[in-house]
Structure 1
Amino acid sequence: MGMGRVVVAFSGGVDSSFLLKMAKDILQDGNVLAVTAVSETYTSSELKQAKRFAKKLGARHKIIFTDELKNKNFTKNPINRCYYCKKELFCKLNEIARKQGFNYVLDASNTDDAKDYRPGSIAKKELGIRSPLMEAGFSKYDIRRYSTKLKLETAMLPSMACLASRFPYGEKINKKTLVKIEAAEDFIKRQGITQVRVRYHGNVARIEVEKEDIKRFVNKKFCDKITKHLKQLEFKYITLDLEGYRTGSLNEVLR
């Protein structure tokens, strides 16, 4: 890598876990610090995954806290919402790097990220954050393939995204609804659906799952179980998106 000492923005997902593994192998232990941000927009399961992976890898790992919900520019949920989230995160990581003598802050963006609307990338450029996987031409497929070769437990993890990505642009983000969305997704995952998004449309829950899992919702007992639980979470209407799960589906209104 030739980067000296680095701070890795580490969520515990497929991409950042692979990046952390590569950084640690190439730059060695004392030159790499993994930092995981905790906030109300991220699920508790993601933090557990990050802690478990970092411990198993033997990586230095620091937990920090961010508070996007105090930023009205974020909670108003404009189309560049991610810019404000990433700016807060990267500013904090840059401060850690400066105080502890690290040369760069790295994030795990890959070439697929350039194909979607990613306003957070503007904050990344403004603050001098490096993306070595993107710079090396790695796609999501490449990262999963090499993670499998390295026998990383994260190789086939479902894609993760912050809970704020479940809100249509312009729909105000608040803690109560974030908790409701996380609870809805956790329940569906416990029924054996590994990749799921519950998109929030006021009193409507729009469920996205992989296309091969859509057929499970034909089963009345299964469907009734999901419906009953989500209505207990105060959703009035429970719908299934027949297009299935896809990254950035709420960006479709921008095209």
Structure 2
Amino acid sequence: MLSEKYTYLKTLFAEMDRALIAYSGGIDSTLVAKLAWDVLGDRALAITANSPSLLPEDLEDACIQAAEIGIAHEVIETHEMANPNYRANPVNRCYFCKSELHDTLQPLALQRGYPYVVDGVNADDLQDYRPGIQAAKERGVRSPLAEAGLSKAEVRELARQLDLPWWDKPAQPCLSSRFPYGEEITVAKLQRVGRSEYHLRKLGWRNLRVRSEGDTARIELPPEQIKEFVLTTDLTTLVRTFQSYGFLYVTLDLEGYRSGKLNQVLQRT
């Protein structure tokens, strides 16, 4: 089944002839970039959008991965923070983010002669609350992974089969997703969340979130890792480090990490 989807993906890219990839460096868009390069070669271009909602270390990773794949890669600046609708962080914040991204990419694609802009949306994403997907659709963006019906698990498996060393890379959505809806997003808040998550990564914790609620940081880890975290982490030093980034309080979510957890508030309205 996966082999048939792989064949279909290669056919999709061959029919496009030239494609510009909205490339974040996550495993979904990395797989898309790999497929585009394999089929189209120098007729494919990967573009990464840099903004305060992207950790500098994640941008560096994206550049390294693109270089290893071999695909042409460029970094552009996007300015979603200039949009008050985005900063206000409504439930459809992601719509304004992706609108800014694709309103920037589409003219670039036309100027460079790329008839298609493609992203890394997969079939599972279509089952979640992702208002950014609508913004992309409105602008004619294609989602090859979703078109081929690849789930997240299949994305990782295909990436593994294609020898992509990042096949098990934890998901890293933009830092704005760490805030409860309605809490204003600022550059300073994004930076303190990003520094906090990067600090935990350096300590060896890979799959995590630092949720920001006012002056409180709430650490989310997989439930099975919570006990080890408490027993092995110098909590006093950790709290002081987070406070140096701008938080007043540091807490641990006892339920544990769950992707899209902040969306559960939408089910109560």
User: Closer, same or farther in 2 for the Cα pair 1:234/1:146, shift >3 Å?
Assistant: same
Asked if the contact 1:193–1:213 (Cα under 8 Å) also holds between the matched residues in 2, the reply is no
| Selected match of 1:120 from 118, 132, 144 | 132
| Selected match of 2:74 from 49, 54, 62 | 62
Aligned to 1:77: 89
Aligned to 2:24: 11
Instruction: Give me the whole-angstrom Cα distance separating, in 1, the residues matched to 2:232 and 2:204.
Output: 16
Instruction: Give me the whole-angstrom Cα distance separating, in 2, the residues matched to 1:206 and 1:109.
Output: 28
Asked if the contact 1:36–1:63 (Cα under 8 Å) also holds between the matched residues in 2, the reply is yes
Unaligned runs of 5+ in 1: none
Q: RMSD of the alignment, in Å?
A: 1.2
Alignment of 1:122-137 (within 5 A): 122-137=134-149
Alignment of 1:151-190 (within 5 A): 151-190=163-202
SS at match of 2:234: helix
SS at match of 2:141: coil
Are 1:226 and 2:238 an aligned pair? yes
Aligned to 2:6: none
Aligned to 2:249: 237
User: Closer, same or farther in 2 for the Cα pair 1:252/1:4, shift >3 Å?
Assistant: same
Which residue type is aligned with residue 73 of structure 2?
A: H
Instruction: Give me the whole-angstrom Cα distance separating, in 1, the residues matched to 2:80 and 2:18.
Output: 28
The number of equivalent residue pairs is 254
Aligned to 1:51: 63
Which residue type is aligned with residue 16 of structure 2?
A: M
Asked if the contact 1:3–1:103 (Cα under 8 Å) also holds between the matched residues in 2, the reply is yes
Could you tell me the TM-score, scaled by structure 2's length?
A: 0.91
- In the TM superposition, residue 114 of structure 1 has moved relative to its aligned partner by 1.5
How many percent identity over aligned positions? 43
Asked if the contact 1:216–1:222 (Cα under 8 Å) also holds between the matched residues in 2, the reply is no
| Selected match of 2:105 from 79, 93, 96 | 93
Aligned to 2:45: 33
Aligned to 1:199: 211
| Selected match of 2:153 from 136, 141, 165 | 141
Which stretch shows the higher mean deviation, 73-82 or 110-119?
110-119
Could you tell me the TM-score, scaled by structure 1's length?
A: 0.96
Q: Which runs of 4+ in 1 moved over 6 A?
A: none
